């Protein structure tokens, strides 16, 4: 699975087409580090199913002709020739095959004559890092093909359901399987959101407690990740909406009811993301006001100490002067006065008391 | 009733489906701590009504067949089997029953052949905490069913109206009862808004008086709660709009006029929430400027004290030096001069006066 | 007239329905302090008019049957029974009568079979406080009814026009009278906006001159009042648009041209409000930067004074030490040197000059 | 031409209708200081043209009947009777004549049976102040009338083109002339935008160099002027769009192609204004961060000086104490020690070195 | 190629029409420093192609009549007469030719009877500066004409593809060539975005590490460049959408599928730009909070040093006073006390310890 770490949203790989600009459309260039494709299949009908890994492509045609529904999953996009052969068997348009290999498509639905092409983004959090992988899905008359670059996906539940055969899935067509896959991809966003919800919650606690420096970077990262999430789910919502609204030959009326449910989930995810984004934006403001409060407190301590000690220090400085009292009675007679020192201390105490009263009246001596 | 406290908006329970992702649609899993369902019924016609609690579901069918309108209220979603039996009797689609049990749906309207499914969110403030509970509502030909997770709702008024039979309610069909329930749910937002209005007002007073630290957290909480309110009421407005605009078989033309009134209320609630959000956002700015003002004041005091005392302290320091006046006439002759000390005090006074005049001209000595 | 002062936008009375939530629709409860209704009428045709106050409602029916247009103005909503009687005579729907009494409706247009119901908000500034009053207007075949809670409105001009009979008004139907009333309500927003324009202008001058503390509260109040204005005028624009666009039986094609003019005014008011809001938002930024400038200036003075005096004060401190010069030639020989004191002063002057040059090079000695 | 200076956007004259609120529609009141109307005409056909100033209105009717196109330009709106006479000859609706005299209309297009009424705003910068003047334009079958309050406009080029007769203008109808006028009005926005572009550019340089106080006021003024520009051009775009999209009898298909070009310009102007507004908003942020940087620098100097000199000053203070060394060996033996003074200086130097190293490690000694 | 440097977005050349305002439409004035046009051609069919530079325009007509597709590229717009001749041969409308020469058009599509006129903006980064050049494109029945002001473009790949003749391009019509050119222009935005992505990433690192002064200017520049990017790509998206949605005679159904792909890329570019803009806006906030943190740190050091040293310095000042102990036992008896000095030091130490404990409890001694 392709990973983007902290800097992910800006990584050149995130928007750099593998194909150089100006190439002819339909030019398919495999990413340099792509894996060799592995083809696994599920072929099933109401009462039976066959699961396997395919080496020779003849097997594929056999499966397609003998089972009502065949789900072909291709993991690894490293062998362009192989992919083209698969495409030929399943009647896949070259342009859409290019989109399969160029992993930076926006989620979308495209209707080709013989099949429906859907691009989705699978998300998961792996080692605290948001990972994204493109899932390209073709729904045909008798088959569903999924392409993904790396192993590991959120479709294991569906495989299990096919194996067990308990639910509707075995008795319905490829459009229902397609729906099930889309639903699994969309539902996998919820645990990711949960994670971000928790992170925001923790961050909120920390910021409200003490606005430390590192929290800005953390908050910034969450905001960026939410941008990525949003960029992925918005077009998925549009794609799902198009699946419900427009009439596609391969989608039956029955499945459309289920897609509506899936669309509802996508809308709920968007709602949550927008909420999180709003909260994150508010948290930045909260951070700034907490930092401003902290500075205020520091300044108050400085001001309190300074205003208390600077005036009496001045008085002490005055009586530290060395004017010669012997020369003239005008020169610092206080020094030779009997109660000079106590009077001086008294004056200092008076000044300080005044200052403290002033500070107290401003409320600067009580902690905020 | 499910509660969300301060951190509510981000709580995982707020968006975590009980059903694991990838499950087959229509899989109903009761929340772990859900209560056993209690079924209460109101069956009424123009001239009579029967109120009761039902144990055996046969009673339900009896009521449905013998009264023009039956209102079935199910409190507690803990027994999936029971819920499915009810659903079977009332001809409720499995997908919508799943939405009943998964309490984190967005408010919505869905039209099934035999009935209309409406999801709403009831809000109330309990012990200063914003509480939300999902109310699922089915309007059929001869019945209205409401599902809620916990006891306590805002529908007591309606029950009273049915009992008294004074108003239209007893002489109209289930669509009017449905409207009455929706209206009660929507109108229950007003006291909640009132509460937030008052909180904002108090906060505003406090911030304008003295921008204390804790107020940021309080303001942040209000902003978050308003986000929750908004997230609940927006789709309710859409749902109500759909009820007015689209033609549903179970809604009569007569009731639609009443729904328009209810829709107006929802729009007014949204207006108020947006207003509150705007005011809350402005208050954050006000807080920042008040905090900045406060810091300014602290800095001014520090500056005033420092600029007044630092220069004469320096003068005092100079005449505190111990240069030997006996060695040379150049060494501090002032110390032995007859009017050295008074002159020195005069110089200090002059400096201080200049400084004070300067500060006064800047307006830093007058309180802001 | 109902007044909202500074805190107006949040006042519970602003959104609290008098009718308790859950009441049956059409339940009309008079506000506790409502006045007894006073009914004044204008009945007119091309060549004559009759003006009067009505006690018995029979008079009303008489007027309606004998004059082409009758304008019935009801001031005071305190007697529900009376209002219902009026409603019955004029064939007013109970739901709309409820809206008349509940003074917190959004401006709107509703079409009932026999008449058109329009809710508007009259605004005026009374004793420097923004006041709002609901004007409910019914336009029927042969009559116009207006309901208002308190005395005093912006319709005096129209009464004068009917009395003088110079303009179109006497030779047109009730729809033109309705238009004239709407136009008067909308045009009364201009003087209010003028007032806010002037306040903003003054505030702008004050903030740019000296960002004093109280200005934030003032600015915040203006922003809130603008929110209220906006909340009132937006739905009025929608209502007017609906009057132009949709075909209502009581509105003639001729009057629609005039309503378009009225709609243009509403759009212009919205433009101005949005402008004011933008300027007010910008002013908050200006305030913050001016406050930041002010703090900068304070800090600069502190820094200048400190950096000028702290180094020579240190030097003075050094030569104020009491090391015994008699014990050793290492102990402060400067004190006994012939030119010790002048040298010391020279050093201080040099240091201070360097500091001043440094500060000057930074531009901190010139006022900004 | 009516001028608005710095405070223009808020000036009451900018939105105060001359006609008092509540007046009958179509009441035309000339502005108090309006000029006497001067009527100049251009009548032309393919091969000839006549230019003149008209005193008696009979001349007008003569021109209209003998030339294919007559352009009547009325400068000065001070004589309502005269304007009404012109309106009568040209069949102008009283409501639109009211809009001609009330100079604060939003730009708009209105279709009357016999002619098309367009309101536009001419802008120019005169003596560094943004000036706006309303141009009211009627396009009829055989004439174009323009009304403006003061002399001076951006239409001189068109007059020259008619005189020279080289371009299409003389061989086309009044709709093309109308287009030419609209185009000239729209194109006159470009030099105004150029001016603001240059101002913003200069401001940007100044702010990035040194965030002085006066720049905030300057930036605020630009933002306000951009608001005025936007308020004028947005409805002009809508008006132009309506001219292209809706079918008006007086606009030929041929002219519509040209109007599309004019519409493109309006869109480009809006693009630029929005860009400028965005840049101006960003500049406020830049200003705030530069001011914050400046304060930071000031604080750093203060802190550096204080932390360097405060500790050794304390040491000097200690050895300036007058404890009697003769009384006890505990009393300041350092003073009588042989190397007391050098040791003391060494300690001071050490402390200062430590402090300087600490400050250096924080990077506070190097300029930012 | 026309360059705009840092100040580019505001440069008058960016929006100043060469043609003076008020000119007749279709008036073509070459920019003052425009180059002499150089015409290069590619004429091709399925099996052959001819590449050349044309001097006499007769050659052009020859090519057009003998090859299925001719691509005419005109570099340099300095000779208006020549351009008009070309326009005449290819049947180009004068208005669109004016747009070709005025290089500041918004990207757009315009349908003329005989050809389709498309304006695009080519972007590239040259010497770290964002450069933009207008590409005007006409697609006719048998030809494609491109106009550009300067040498150097992003179309070299396409030329190569025509020469090699491997892909579809040689066997399709001029609409496919037009598509290929649009696609190349759009795809050339990706490397530009990559560059900005990297700049933002670096800036982010620098800001989070140390919020230096220069970074604000850098960030501001990126924000401005992103505005330029956005202003160019948005209307390109609209133009591409119009090409897909509306039916143009010269665009075949087959090519439309490819244009959809190109449109997808434009949408993706917009997504990325909006993301970058959001991140840049967030970075300004991050900068402000980091700067605030830095100031906080500076203030804390000042406060710590001051609060530690100011109180004991005061004590030292007190015992530096010169009250005459011989005169009275009240005058500073401490000076003659046996343990005066050690006690004094002890008191100082105690005070300092208290202060340090206080500072420690506030967490101001530990680095953040």
Of E145, E56, E58, which Cα lies nearest the Cα of E93? E145
- The chains in contact with chain C, meaning 3 or more Cβ pairs closer than 8 Å, are B, D
| Chain A residue nearest residue E167, CA to CA | A24
Name the residue facing B10 among A200, A292, A307 (closest C-beta). A200
Could you give the CA distance from residue B174 to residue D169 in angstroms, rounded to a whole number? Answer: 71
Residue D21 pLDDT greater than 80, yes or no = no
For residue D296, which residues of chain E lie inside 8 Å, CB to CB?
291, 294-295, 298
Residue E276 pLDDT greater than 90, yes or no = yes
For residue B318, which residues of chain C lie inside 8 Å, CB to CB?
312, 316, 348
Angle at A35 between CA A32 and CA A40, to 5 degrees: 150
Instruction: Decide: B79 and B66 in contact? Cβ < 8 Å.
Output: no
Residue A150 pLDDT greater than 90, yes or no = no
Residue D331 pLDDT greater than 90, yes or no = no
Do C331 and D340 lie within an 8 Å CB cutoff? Answer: yes
Could you give the CA distance from residue C321 to residue C323 in angstroms, rounded to a whole number? Answer: 6
Residue D8 pLDDT greater than 50, yes or no = no
Best mutation target, A283, A318, A358, to test chain B (most B CBs within 10 A): A318
Q: How confident is the model at residue E77 (pLDDT cuts 50, 70, 90)?
A: confident
Nearest CA-CA distance, residue C21 and chain D, Å: 39
Residue D20 pLDDT greater than 50, yes or no = yes
- The chains in contact with chain E, meaning 3 or more Cβ pairs closer than 8 Å, are A, D
For residue A152, which residues of chain B lie inside 8 Å, CB to CB?
none
Could you give the CA distance from residue B204 to residue B219 in angstroms, rounded to a whole number? Answer: 9
* pLDDT, position A279: 92
Do B213 and A318 lie within an 8 Å CB cutoff? Answer: no
Q: How confident is the model at residue A16 (pLDDT cuts 50, 70, 90)?
A: low
Instruction: Decide: C133 and C121 in contact? Cβ < 8 Å.
Output: yes
Query: Among residues of chain B, what percentage have pLDDT more than 90?
Result: 22
Residue A29 pLDDT greater than 90, yes or no = no
| Chain A residue nearest residue B234, CA to CA | A271
| CA dihedral of C197, C202, C206, C209, whole degrees rounded to 10 | 90
* pLDDT, position B6: 39
Taking only the tens place, the pLDDT of each residue in A295-311 is 888 888 888 888 888 89
Nearest CA-CA distance, residue D278 and chain E, Å: 8
Best mutation target, B231, B301, B315, B333, to test chain A (most A CBs within 10 A): B301
For residue E291, which residues of chain D lie inside 8 Å, CB to CB?
289, 292-293, 296
Place of tokens 């007027």: C63
ipTM of the shown complex? 0.78
For residue E159, which residues of chain A lie inside 8 Å, CB to CB?
none
For residue B191, which residues of chain C lie inside 8 Å, CB to CB?
21
For residue E201, which residues of chain A lie inside 8 Å, CB to CB?
7, 10-11
- The chains in contact with chain D, meaning 3 or more Cβ pairs closer than 8 Å, are C, E
Do A322 and B317 lie within an 8 Å CB cutoff? Answer: no
Higher pLDDT, E151 or B137: B137
Nearest CA-CA distance, residue E141 and chain A, Å: 22
For residue D316, which residues of chain C lie inside 8 Å, CB to CB?
314, 317-318, 320-321
* pLDDT, position A2: 33
Q: How confident is the model at residue A19 (pLDDT cuts 50, 70, 90)?
A: low
Residue B11 pLDDT greater than 70, yes or no = no
Do C197 and D287 lie within an 8 Å CB cutoff? Answer: no
Best mutation target, B262, B285, B301, to test chain C (most C CBs within 10 A): B285
Higher pLDDT, C166 or A293: A293
* pLDDT, position B137: 93
Instruction: Decide: A84 and A91 in contact? Cβ < 8 Å.
Output: no
Q: Please count the other Cβ atoms lying within 10 Å of the Cβ belonging to residue A152.
A: 14
* pLDDT, position B366: 74
Mean pLDDT of all residues in A179-206: 90
Q: How confident is the model at residue D292 (pLDDT cuts 50, 70, 90)?
A: confident
Report the 3 state secondary structure along chain B.
CCECCCCHHHCHHHCCCCCCCCCCCCCCCCCCCCCCCEEEEEEECCCCEEEEEECCCHHHHHHHHHCCEEEEEEECCCCHHHHHHHHHHHCCCHHHHHHHHCCCCCCEEEECCCCEEEEEEEEEEECCEEEEEEEEEEECCCEEEEEECCCCCCCHHHHHHHHHCCCHHHHCCHHHHHHHHHHHHHHCHHHHHHHHHHHHHHHHHHHHHCCCCHHHHHHHHHHHHHHHHHHHHHHHHHHHHHHHHCCCCCCCHHHHHHHHHHHHHHHHHHHHHHHHHHHHHHHHHHHHHHHHHHHHHHHHHHHHHHHHHHHHHHHHHHCCCCCCCCCCCCCCHHHHCCCHHHHHHHHHHHHHHHHHHHHHHCCCCCCC
- Cα separation of the two ends of chain A: 51
Residue D236 pLDDT greater than 60, yes or no = yes
Higher pLDDT, A27 or E171: E171
Mean pLDDT of all residues in D301-308: 88
User: What pTM does this model have?
Assistant: 0.83
> B361: exposed, middle or buried (C-beta count within 10 Å: 0-12, 13-18, 19+)?
exposed
* pLDDT, position E3: 33
| Chain E residue nearest residue D275, CA to CA | E227
Do E331 and A312 lie within an 8 Å CB cutoff? Answer: no
Higher pLDDT, C128 or B135: B135
For residue C7, which residues of chain B lie inside 8 Å, CB to CB?
201, 204
Nearest CA-CA distance, residue E102 and chain A, Å: 27
Higher pLDDT, D26 or A37: A37
B198 φ, ψ to 5°?
Answer: -70, -40
Best mutation target, A323, A333, A364, A366, to test chain B (most B CBs within 10 A): A323
Do D25 and C261 lie within an 8 Å CB cutoff? Answer: yes
Do B190 and C339 lie within an 8 Å CB cutoff? Answer: no
| Chain A residue nearest residue B98, CA to CA | A261
Name the residue facing C220 among B191, B197, B286 (closest C-beta). B286
Query: Among residues of chain A, what percentage have pLDDT more than 70?
Result: 92
Q: Please count the other Cβ atoms lying within 10 Å of the Cβ belonging to residue C18.
A: 18
Do E341 and D321 lie within an 8 Å CB cutoff? Answer: yes
> D65: exposed, middle or buried (C-beta count within 10 Å: 0-12, 13-18, 19+)?
exposed
Mean pLDDT of all residues in D281-310: 88
| Chain C residue nearest residue B271, CA to CA | C231
Do D190 and E217 lie within an 8 Å CB cutoff? Answer: no
| Chain D residue nearest residue E285, CA to CA | D285
Query: Would you write out chain C's pLDDT as a tens digit for each of its 368 residues?
Result: 333 333 444 444 455 555 666 667 767 777 777 888 899 999 998 888 999 898 888 888 888 888 999 999 999 888 888 888 898 888 888 888 888 888 878 888 888 878 899 999 998 888 888 888 899 999 998 899 999 988 877 888 888 888 887 777 888 889 999 999 999 999 889 889 988 999 999 999 999 888 888 888 999 999 999 998 998 899 999 899 988 888 888 888 888 888 988 898 899 899 999 999 999 999 998 998 888 888 888 888 888 888 888 898 888 888 888 888 888 888 888 888 888 888 888 998 999 999 899 888 888 877 65
| Chain E residue nearest residue A337, CA to CA | E327
| Chain centroid, CA D287 distance in Å | 20
Mean pLDDT of all residues in A9-18: 47
Do B322 and C317 lie within an 8 Å CB cutoff? Answer: no
Higher pLDDT, A29 or C76: C76
| Chain D residue nearest residue C255, CA to CA | D25
Could you give the CA distance from residue A282 to residue B216 in angstroms, rounded to a whole number? Answer: 11
Measure Cα distances from A154 to A121, A130, A226, A234, A356 in Å. Answer: 11, 15, 20, 20, 67
Of B313, B306, B312, B340, which Cα lies nearest the Cα of B325? B340
For residue C321, which residues of chain D lie inside 8 Å, CB to CB?
316, 319-320, 341, 344
For residue A362, which residues of chain B lie inside 8 Å, CB to CB?
297, 301
| Chain C residue nearest residue D93, CA to CA | C257
Taking only the tens place, the pLDDT of each residue in E313-338 is 888 888 888 888 888 888 888 888 88
Mean pLDDT of all residues in E164-183: 86
């Amino acid at each position: 699975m392709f990973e983007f770490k902290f800097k992910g949203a800006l990584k050149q790989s995130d928007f750099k087409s593998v194909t150089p600009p100006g190439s002819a459309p339909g030019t398919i260039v495999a990413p340099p580090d792509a894996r060799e494709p592995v083809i696994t299949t599920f072929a099933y009908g109401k009462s039976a199913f066959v699961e396997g890994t395919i080496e020779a492509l003849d097997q594929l045609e056999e499966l397609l002709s003998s089972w009502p529904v065949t789900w072909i999953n291709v993991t690894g996009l490293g062998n362009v020739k192989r992919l083209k052969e698969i495409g030929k068997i399943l009647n896949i348009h070259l342009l859409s095959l290019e989109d399969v290999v160029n992993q930076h498509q926006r989620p979308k639905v495209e209707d080709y004559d013989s099949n429906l092409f859907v691009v989705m983004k699978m998300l998961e959090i792996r080692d605290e890092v948001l990972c994204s992988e493109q899932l390209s899905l073709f729904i045909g008359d008798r088959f569903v093909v999924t392409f993904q670059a790396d192993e590991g996906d959120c479709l294991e539940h569906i495989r299990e359901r096919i194996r067990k055969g308990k639910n509707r899935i075995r008795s319905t067509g490829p459009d229902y399987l397609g729906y099930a896959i889309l639903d699994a991809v969309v539902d996998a966003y919820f645990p990711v959101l949960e994670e971000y919800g928790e992170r925001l919650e923790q961050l909120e606690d920390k910021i409200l407690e003490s606005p430390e420096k590192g929290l800005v970077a953390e908050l910034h990262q969450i905001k960026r990740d939410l941008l990525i999430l949003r960029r992925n789910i918005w077009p998925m919502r549009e794609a799902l909406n198009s699946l419900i609204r427009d009439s596609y030959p391969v989608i039956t009326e029955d499945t459309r009811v289920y897609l509506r449910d899936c669309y509802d989930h996508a809308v709920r995810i968007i709602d949550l993301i927008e909420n999180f984004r709003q909260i994150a934006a508010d948290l930045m403001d909260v951070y700034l006001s907490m930092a401003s409060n902290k500075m205020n407190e520091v300044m108050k301590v400085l001001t309190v100490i300074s205003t208390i000690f600077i005036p009496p220090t001045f008085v002490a400085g005055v009586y530290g002067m060395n004017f010669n009292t012997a020369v003239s009675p005008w020169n610092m007679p206080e020094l030779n006065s009997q109660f000079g020192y106590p009077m001086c201390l008294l004056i200092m105490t008076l000044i300080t008391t005044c200052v403290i009263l002033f500070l107290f009246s401003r409320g600067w001596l009580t902690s905020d």
